[in-house]
Amino acid sequence: MSHPHSPDHCASAVNSLYCGEDASENTITKFIDSESQFMPLSDYLHRCRHRSIDTTARQDSINWILKVHAHYAFRPLTALLSVNYFDRFLSSYSLPENGWPYQILSVACLSLAAKMEEPDVPLLLDLQVLEPGFIFEPKNIQKMELRVMAYLNWRLRSVTPFDYLDYFISKLPSCSSTNPDNFSRLLKDSSDLILNTTRVIDFLGFTPSTVAAAAAISAAGKSYDTIPWEAGDGQFFHERVNKEMVRSCHQLMEEYLIDTCPLSRHKIDHYPAPPDTLSNFYYLY
């Protein structure tokens, strides 16, 4: 029997999503049961808001990760895992408040995520592109990788919002997988929304399943109030998904990710968001 957090176990769990409704429900339940183990410590958001975590350095690090992710056309999951590793590490280990420790952590997290997900991984020196601020020798990055893995208890195969998307989107009214083009569009739009949540610290307060449900609703151009939550004994996506948390997360997406929310695009002509809207949000705290 495989370990519940081993790659083989997770691969079989994902495959079971396509083996019938019961298997899907059971798999989603297993994901929800374990997702908290792959989140930052519970006080991390509070520490970010009160600046015991350097949120400016965090923002710069995530922006760099996303730029390099786009430069190499990495998979969306690679970027999300990179930020997941970054936040989980920071929640349990304090870095000095200056630039280079955050930069080497960024490189190490992106390198680890790429090794997990990408068929072709750039050399460590080649990964340090797009004005990283500091350039590190490969041996030093490898030491940081080992430190990150140790603090993450070697649990790199994380549960993320992407684990829920196929299943949740198939649950939306008029958004079933029988319409491949529409389904693919919703997957892409939901993925874009999820990646953008990494820039806004308040999304750290939501579980991966909650973020996935909110992203699916926004990508579909649905109003939260039009979702038939009465289905399935009060829950629509899954009985374990908290609809009030989804409401809060969906509202946050509509407010701060307005440029990527299909439902909110009509608002842009009247209330244009400045280019640095997401950056400014970090400084509210």
pLDDT tens digits, residue range 90-132? 999 988 876 799 999 999 999 999 999 999 999 999 999 988 7
Does residue 276 surpass a pLDDT of 90?
no
Phi, psi of 56 (to 5 degrees): -65, -45
Q: Specify the CATH class of 35-152 in words.
A: mainly alpha
Residue 66's pLDDT is 95
The structure's pTM equals 0.80
Domain ranges of the chain: 35-152, 160-257
| pLDDT, mean of residues 80-87 | 97
Comparing 154 with 261, which gets the higher pLDDT? 154
Q: Does 35-152 match 160-257 in CATH topology?
A: yes
Pairwise CA distance, residues 75 & 192, whole Å: 11
Residue 271's pLDDT is 27
User: What is the CB neighbour count within 10 angstroms for residue 140?
Assistant: 13
Comparing 17 with 243, which gets the higher pLDDT? 243
- What mean pLDDT is reported for the chain? 79
Q: How confident is the model at residue 255 (pLDDT cuts 50, 70, 90)?
A: confident
Nearest-10 crossing angle of helices 76-92, 138-151: 70
Comparing 153 with 12, which gets the higher pLDDT? 153
Residue 191's pLDDT is 94
| pLDDT, mean of residues 72-81 | 96
Concatenate the DSSP letters of all residues of the chain into one string.
---TTSHHHHHHHHHGGGS-HHHHHHHHHHHHHHGGGGS--TTHHHHHHTTSS-HHHHHHHHHHHHHHHHHTT--HHHHHHHHHHHHHHHHHSPPPSSHHHHHHHHHHHHHHHHHHH-SS---HHHHS-S--S----HHHHHHHHHHHHHHTTT--S---THHHHHHHHHHSTT--TTSHHHHHHHHHHHHHHHHHHTTSGGGGGS-HHHHHHHHHHHHTT--GGGS-TTTTTT-SS-TTS-HHHHHHHHHHHHHHSGGG-GGGHHHHTTSPPPTTHHHHHHTT-
pLDDT tens digits, residue range 32-66? 999 999 999 999 999 999 888 899 999 999 999 99
pLDDT tens digits, residue range 192-243? 999 999 999 999 999 999 999 999 988 888 776 666 555 544 456 677 888 8
Does residue 11 surpass a pLDDT of 50?
no
End-to-end alpha-carbon separation of the chain, Å? Answer: 47
What CATH number belongs to 160-257?
1.10.472
pLDDT tens digits, residue range 128-185? 998 877 899 999 999 999 999 999 999 999 999 999 998 888 887 666 555 677 888 8
Residue 227's pLDDT is 65
